[in-house]
Amino acid sequence: MRFRTLLCLGLFVPVLHDTAQAQATGDEARLLLGISIGAISGRQLWSAEPQAVQFTNPTDTFALSRRIRSNLVVGFGGTYFPNQNFGIAVEGFLVGLGLEDNCRQVFSSGSGDVAAVCQSLQGREKPASAVTLAVGPVFRFNSRKPFSPYARANLGITLSNQSALRTFGEFPTDSGPSTVIIYSDEKNSRIDPSLALGLGFTAGISKGSQLRWEIRDNIVGIQQVTGTIPIAGFVPPHKRVFKHLFSMTVGFDIILERRRGRRY
């Protein structure tokens, strides 16, 4: 009799344990505030050839090109999840949107000053930054598990402080370097639309914080030179294009509000 009682208990206790485990659920983050840092890829922006430089007759011409350099990114923002899977994120994304110029002489009259202008452009880097302010939905899965994958889409605007059109070089003189403006642009800053699509996952490290890893396609609006001009020094033909700049970031989130799971 005693043996049968122990046997029944031995079979029944694991069932109770499994049932309790099935009923118990982890906590769920609802309101988060976070920061992230990472790197963003570069991209070819525009090229123009042959561009006349009015130094001599016949006119010297350049082949010019500009690319967006790879750089660092920093993001900050907050996310609110009104339910288990769907949330709304508000974010600021600081992008190091630096530029790099390249120049090659297509036709040379032999002028040393013209050659110096092209040489000063070759490999010249122009530091710049842009801030993307965006809002969009976030869809997460397994929100009560230690690892939770998610997908996001952000729609916003990008504010940049550097002209993507203005191009100038220099040649030496007895009184110092003299600047030659090839492409002019009166606007020092611009506001362009932007879109971002991201995939990532979060990993809980404590009840009040979590780590976040994300890859993202940042689709940024930027001005592109579309042709040459007959005389250097004026605004070139241009248009707004959207460039895909891919980034990878690692972030840290503080959980300001969470929904407790079942403990039974």
Say what the pLDDT of residue 26 is: 58
**Domain span holding position 220:** 29-259
- Quickly state the pLDDT bin for 261 (edges 50, 70, 90): low
Say what the pLDDT of residue 262 is: 52
Instruction: Tell whether 97 is covered by a domain.
Output: yes
Say what the pLDDT of residue 246 is: 95
Do the bridges between strand 60-68 and strand 71-80 make them parallel or antiparallel, or are there none, so unpaired? unpaired
What tokens were used for 7? 């046997």
Report which of residues 221 and 161 the model is more confident about.
Answer: 221
Say what the pLDDT of residue 74 is: 94
Beta bridge partners of 203: 147, 211
Instruction: Tell whether 42 is covered by a domain.
Output: yes
In this model, does residue 8 exceed pLDDT 90?
no
Dist. CA 223–CA 192, nearest whole Å: 9
Once rounded to an integer, what is the mean pLDDT over residues 189-205?
92
Instruction: Tell whether 23 is covered by a domain.
Output: no
Single-letter amino acid, residue 223: Q
How many domains does the chain divide into? 1
Instruction: Tell whether 88 is covered by a domain.
Output: yes
Dist. CA 170–CA 162, nearest whole Å: 19
Question: pLDDT tens across 156-172, in order?
Answer: 999 988 889 999 999 99
In this model, does residue 20 exceed pLDDT 70?
no
In this model, does residue 18 exceed pLDDT 80?
no
Instruction: Tell whether 156 is covered by a domain.
Output: yes
Single-letter amino acid, residue 226: T
**Taking Cα atoms as reference points, which of 219, 223, 247 lies closest to residue 128?**
223
Report which of residues 97 and 218 the model is more confident about.
Answer: 218
Helix (H, G, I), strand (E, B) or coil at 6: helix
In this model, does residue 193 exceed pLDDT 70?
yes
Identify the residue whose tokens are 């033909």: 237
Helix (H, G, I), strand (E, B) or coil at 257: strand
Question: pLDDT tens across 45-73, in order?
Answer: 999 999 999 877 788 999 999 999 999 99
Contact 52, 231 (CB under 8 A): yes
Which CATH number fits the domain that encloses residue 132?
2.40.160.20
Instruction: Tell whether 10 is covered by a domain.
Output: no
Dist. CA 258–CA 220, nearest whole Å: 34
**The residue count for the chain:** 264
Dist. CA 108–CA 213, nearest whole Å: 51
